[in-house]
Each structure stands twice: as C-alpha cells, then as structure tokens.
C-alpha cells in the first residue's frame, strides 16, 4: 500500500537559514502522526511543505504517491504550475493555529465557500453537507454566526469542518489548540479524536502530550530541523532514547 | 422534564443619582449661537451677495446641465479609476516582476505630475496624434481614426481625470489589500483556491472595509477636481458654466459662485449618504455584536425552549 505521506530527505531553507535538514518519515493511510518539539524546530514548516505552502528545496515529498510541488519528467524536475498545485491541495485539509476563518462570512458560508467555488459542487448539496459537518462538530446552531461571534474553540471546530468539506484524504493540524484558552482545548481535541477514530489520516503538530499518547500511532520528536526520535507514542514518551528528547519532555510533561 | 423556575433574587433598586452638570457646554453654545446669528444677519442684509440673483440662477437650465455634466464626469472617471486602480494594485502586489515594474512606473508618472498639466496634455492629444491607425507597423493600415475631426473634449476630460485618479486609487486599494492578514490568503490557498480567486473571494471583500472611507474621500474630491477640466478645455461643467459663462455675462461673480458652491455641497451630501450604506454593508462580520436578525432568531429559540415543558 502506498503510504499517505512519504518524505525522503526533505530540506527547506529560507535564504541562508536551513530550517529542515533532511526529514525522512512515512505516514500510512488511516494513521495519526503527531509531531512535537521546541519552537523553531521546523515542525510547522514541514507541515506547510506537505501541502506546498512552502516549496521543498531538496529531497522528495509524496502524498498518496504524488510528488508534491514538482512534476517529475524523467531526468529533471519541473516546478509545478499554480493551477496544478491548487489541484493537489484540494485533497489536503489544513487547520491553522489562528483558525484563519473568513471573517466576512458566516460559519456555514465559510464551510461551503471552497466546495462551491473550487469544486463546483451544487449549492444546495454544499449547504446540506455543510450543515451535516456543523452538526458533527456540534455547532449546528451557530451556522449563521460570524467568526467574531464565536469562541476560540468554536471557531477552530468550524475551521475543522471547513477543511473536511473538501473531503480531504489527509488532514494537517498546525498547533490547533495553541491559541485557545485552556478550558476550550478539550472540545477541539474531542473533534480530532473522533476524526481519527473514523479513519482519517492526520499529521498533527501539537504540544498536547495527552492527545499524542491517546490518539497517535506514531510520535515524531523534532529538533533543529531533524527528526531526533520516531516511534510509538507511549514508548517515546515513557522511554526516550535521546538526550534531547528527554530534556524536552522533562519540560513539557 | 423539570422547569427551573425559582423566583429571581430581590434585585437592588436602580441608582437615582443627580447627573453631573456641564455649565461650560451651555456657555460655549450661547457664544457660538450669538456669533452665528450676527454672521447670518450680515449675509442676509449685505447687498453684495445679491440673493435675488442667487435664487434666479439656482435652478437655471444651464446650471442644471452643468450639474449633470459634472456628475457624469465624476462618475465615469471614478468608475474607470477604480477598475484601473484594482488592476494596478494587484499588479503591484503580484509575483510577476514585469507587472510590478509597470505599475510602479505608472504611479511614478501620474502621481508625480500635476493634474492640471495632465489635463492640458490630454487636450493636446488630437494635436500630437492627429490620426490613430490600426495595422502592421510600417505596413498597410486596416483602420484609421482622425482625432482632429472629432470633438471629444468630454472623453478626453474623463480619461485625463480617470488616469490620474487611478494612481491614487491603486495606492488606496494596495493599502486595503495589505491590511488583510496573511493567514486569509493562506487559508484560501490551502482550500485549493487559485491566487486570483483568493483575491476576489477572500481578500478584496475584506479589504473593502479599509478601502471605502478613503475612496469616499476621493469621490468627493473628484467632484470638485472636475472644475479643472477647463484645462482640456472642456467648458460645460458646473464651475465653468456658473463662473465663466454666466457670471462673466451678468457681472455677478458672488451669487453665481454661491450657486456653484450650493450644488457642490448638495451633491457631496448625497455621496456621503451613499458612503454610509456601503460602509455598513462591508463591515459585516467585523463586530461581535449580534445583528437584528440573529437577535430575533435567539429570542425565538428562547421562547420555544420555555414553551417546551408544557407540551
């Protein structure tokens, strides 16, 4: 079976600054990968490379067997046109730390925006599906509310529903609970747990070790742009092998 | 189902305090009313104002035609300027270095020279380019237009005003686009939108909130800048008709200036009303306050919940 995400020696630099120094990992279909590590370690950059918000400088990154960002024409790679890149992203949902909901649209309008205008889904079907998704994240009564009227937890759940509306085969979460008040973290993690139990393939950057232990199939600890440790979460959390992992975990646990 | 219907705790009596007095507000109001009264009395009684002439010409046919021409110049040139301004702003922000430079040079030239000079120049276009030919360079021509034979001062005035204004609108629109957080474009991109669609559906509608107030300013300013089209020369706008045509004939500059001023003021007031409604439309979602519609829905939900236990 082709893995959903396959990274081979992925490198990314911003000018002289090398942020990713050869990331190699795989995520199988239906699996949940959680990435942890100190800030600046490159977790978010790696996540953004997966849906080509950042272009990889070296190495190869595949989603469901497709090379991301480039066309492989035998001897040489060709930069992908914006149109083809947009097509690749349609199947990859992304949830941001600061939600990035569209403030001028209601919760429901946020969700149906991309299906209608990108996928050209019939409007009535999109609304029906949108309401169904809102119901799944427990916010059907907030369909007509604008993002500014939602709490952080509600906004993030709407953002998850918005990503799901495109029927993605892979969901990326970039610190989805880091901007939330502590008492609102649980409701967002609940939705993510449910999603994982339904078999969604997920890559999650987070500081929620409890979530990692409970939901993840694979835990990656990153530091300084490299994967320091990679394994089943209980093992990595309970018996870290590397000094750097031990030092980090002692601070967050 | 049980109804929690305990009597509300006895609430304390509302505070009945003596309101704070503001004597200086009253003093200021009296002083200003007295001064204003004196000024108005002077204006009404001073024969130089020639109010009879003012009222005679306020709804004069030539004046009304001037108002209509001024309005048309304003609307056509503003619409052109906004369309061109959006294009220039998007070019300025695009990743394409050629577009970026073209937009920069346009702004440099049109903001860097006075509008009066530009309008004079537009008036000279038929002299400089007497014919417009469409065809193969140095080869046969398929289409030919004799500019000198046409009488096109209105068109030239509109173009002159629009191309100058487009440079200013481009900057206003660019500022609006830059005010939208980066995450908005990112979220749209992540949903599979192209750059153009993200601009059109996500960024520009949000930028409108920032774009509209200065654009209202520009429209009002344009209404008055139309009085410069005499440089083209175009002579059928409000200002030219009132001050050059009629005032020169009647030797009555003061009342006719007042006629022109009254019309400019009236149209500006109308434009301000339009701006108010536009701003309200584009501010949706900007506030946490619930809209009337949402409040009604919530109230309805509340009453149905209260009604439930009896069913």
Mean pLDDT (whole number) for B243-260? 88
pTM value > 0.90: no
The closest of A146, A139, A45 to A101, measured between CA atoms, is A146
Nearest-CA distance from B210 to chain A in Å? 13
How many Å lie between the alpha carbon of A214 and the closest alpha carbon of chain B? 28
- What percent of chain B has a predicted confidence (pLDDT) above 70? 94
Q: CB B191 to CB A162 under 8 A?
A: yes
Residue B311 has a pLDDT of: 37
Ramachandran bin of A143, using left for φ above 0, alpha for ψ from -120 to 50, beta for the remaining angles: alpha
pLDDT tops 60 at residue B252:
yes
pLDDT in tens, A205-218: 999 999 999 999 99
- Split at pLDDT 50, 70, 90, the class of A202 is very high
- CB atoms B193 and A102 under 8 Å: no
Contact B183 A96 (CB under 8 A): yes
For residue B74, is pLDDT > 50? yes
Q: CB–CB of B197 and A117 under 8 A?
A: yes
Q: Which residues of B touch A87 (CB under 8 A)?
A: 192
How far apart are the CA of B122 and the nearest CA of chain A, in angstroms? 41
Beta-carbon-side half-sphere exposure of residue B185 (alpha carbons within 13 Å): 14
Q: How near does any CA of chain A get to the CA of B308, in Å?
A: 18
Residue B309: what pLDDT?
Answer: 45
Residue B105 DSSP SS3: helix
User: CB of B286 within 8 A of CB of B206?
Assistant: no
pLDDT higher than threshold 50 for residue B310 = no
Average pLDDT over residues B107-129: 92
| Disruptive mutation site among A48, A79, A100, A133 for chain B (greatest number of B CBs within 10 Å) | A100
Instruction: State pLDDT tens for residues B234-248.
Output: 888 998 888 888 888
ipTM comes to: 0.91
pLDDT at position A89 is 93
Closest chain B residue by Cα to residue A47: B190
Find the radius of gyration of the CA atoms of chain B. 29
On the question of pLDDT at B112 being above 50, the answer is yes
**Partner residue opposite B189 with nearest CB, options A89, A105, A117:** A89
Average pLDDT score over residue span A26-47: 94
| A146 CA: distance to closest CA in chain B (Å) | 5
The residue-averaged pLDDT of A188-208 equals 95
Residue to mutate among B94, B190, B212, with most A CBs inside 10 A, is B190
A114, A133, A203: best to mutate for the B interface, most B CBs within 10 A: A114
In the prediction, which pLDDT does B305 show?
Answer: 61
Q: Peptide bond preceding B233: is omega within 30 degrees of 0, i.e. cis?
A: yes
CA angle B27, B31, B37 (to 5 degrees): 145
Q: How confident is the model at residue A167 (pLDDT cuts 50, 70, 90)?
A: very high
Decide if B183 and A100 are in contact by the 8 Å CB cutoff. Answer: yes
Selection from A86, A33, A165 nearest residue B190 by Cα: A86
DSSP codes of every residue in chain A: ---SEEEEEEEEEETTEEEEEEEEEEE-TT-EEEEE--TTSSHHHHHHHHTTSS--SEEEEEETTEESSEEEETTEEEEPPHHHHHHHHTTEEEE-TT----TTS-HHHHHHHHHHHTS---HHHHHHHHHHHHHHTT-GGGTT--GGGS-HHHHHHHHHHHHHTT--SEEEEESTTTTS-HHHHHHHHHHHHHHHHTT-EEEEE-S-HHHHHHH-SEEEEEETTEEEEEE-HHHHHHS--SHHHHHHHHHH-
- Based on the number of CB atoms within 10 Å of its own CB, is B253 exposed (0-12), middle (13-18) or buried (19 or more)? middle
pLDDT tens, position by position, B9-35: 678 888 888 889 999 999 999 999 999
Inter-CA distances, A134 with A192, B43, B243, B253, Å: 14, 67, 65, 68
Interface residue A167 vs chain B (CB under 8 A): no
Decide if pLDDT at B306 tops 60.
no
Q: Tell me the helices (H) and strands (E) count for chain B, helix number first.
A: 13, 2
pLDDT at A29 > cutoff 80? yes
Please check whether residue B296 touches A, CB under 8 A: no
Q: What would the mean pLDDT of B100-107 be, rounded to a whole number?
A: 96
Give the pLDDT confidence score for residue A225 in this predicted structure. 94
To the nearest whole number, what is the mean pLDDT of chain B?
A: 88
């Amino acid at each position: 079976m082709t893995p959903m995400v396959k990274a081979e020696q992925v490198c990314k630099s911003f000018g002289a600054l090398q942020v990713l120094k050869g990331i190699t990992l795989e995520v199988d279909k239906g699996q949940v990968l959680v990435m942890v590590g100190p800030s600046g370690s490159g977790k978010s950059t790696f996540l953004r490379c997966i849906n080509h918000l950042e272009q990889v400088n070296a190495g190869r990154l595949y989603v469901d067997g497709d090379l991301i960002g480039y066309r492989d024409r035998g001897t040489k790679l060709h930069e992908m046109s914006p149109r083809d890149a947009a097509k690749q992203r349609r199947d990859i949902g992304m949830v941001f730390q600061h939600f990035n909901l569209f403030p001028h649209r209601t919760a429901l309008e946020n969700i149906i925006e991309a299906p209608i205008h990108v996928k050209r889904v019939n409007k009535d079907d999109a609304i029906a599906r949108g309401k169904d998704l809102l119901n799944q994240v427990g916010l059907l009564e907030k369909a007509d509310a604008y993002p500014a009227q939602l709490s952080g937890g509600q906004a993030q759940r709407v953002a998850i529903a918005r990503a799901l509306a495109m029927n993605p085969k892979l969901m990326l979460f970039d610190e989805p609970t880091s901007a939330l008040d502590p008492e609102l973290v649980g409701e967002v993690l609940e939705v993510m747990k449910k999603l994982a139990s339904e078999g969604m393939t997920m890559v999650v950057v987070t500081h929620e070790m409890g979530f990692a232990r409970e939901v993840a199939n694979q835990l990656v600890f990153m530091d300084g742009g490299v994967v320091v440790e990679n394994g089943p979460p209980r093992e990595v959390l309970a018996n870290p092998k590397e000094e750097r992992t031990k030092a980090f975990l002692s601070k967050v646990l | 189902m049980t109804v929690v219907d305990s009597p509300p705790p006895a609430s304390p009596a509302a505070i009945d305090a003596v309101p704070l007095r503001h004597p200086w507000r009253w003093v200021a109001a009296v002083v200003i009313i007295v001064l204003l009264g004196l000024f108005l009395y002077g204006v009404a009684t001073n024969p130089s104002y020639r109010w009879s002439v003012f009222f005679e010409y306020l709804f004069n046919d030539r004046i009304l035609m001037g108002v209509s021409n001024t309005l048309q110049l304003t609307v056509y040139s503003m619409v052109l300027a906004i369309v061109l301004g959006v294009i220039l702003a998007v070019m300025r922000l695009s990743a394409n270095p050629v577009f970026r430079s073209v937009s920069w040079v346009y702004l440099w030239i049109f903001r860097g020279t006075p509008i009066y000079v530009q309008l004079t120049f537009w008036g000279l276009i038929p002299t400089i380019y007497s014919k417009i030919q469409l065809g193969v360079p140095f080869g046969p021509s398929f289409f030919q237009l004799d500019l000198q034979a046409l009488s096109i001062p209105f068109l030239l005035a509109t173009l002159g005003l629009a191309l100058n204004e487009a440079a200013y609108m481009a900057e206003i629109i660019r500022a609006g686009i830059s005010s939208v957080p980066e995450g908005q474009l990112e979220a749209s991109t992540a949903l599979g939108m192209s750059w153009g669609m993200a601009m059109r559906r996500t960024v520009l509608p949000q930028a409108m909130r920032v774009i509209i107030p200065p654009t209202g300013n520009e429209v009002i300013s344009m209404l008055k800048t139309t009085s410069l089209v005499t440089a083209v020369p175009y002579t059928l706008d409000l200002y030219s008709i009132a001050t050059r045509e009629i005032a020169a004939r009647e030797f009555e500059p003061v009342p006719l200036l007042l006629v022109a001023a009254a019309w400019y003021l009236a149209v500006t007031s109308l434009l301000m009303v339009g701006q108010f409604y536009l701003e309200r439309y584009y501010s949706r979602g900007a506030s946490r306050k619930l809209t009337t519609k949402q409040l009604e829905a919530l109230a309805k939900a509340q009453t149905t919940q209260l009604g439930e236990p009896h069913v």
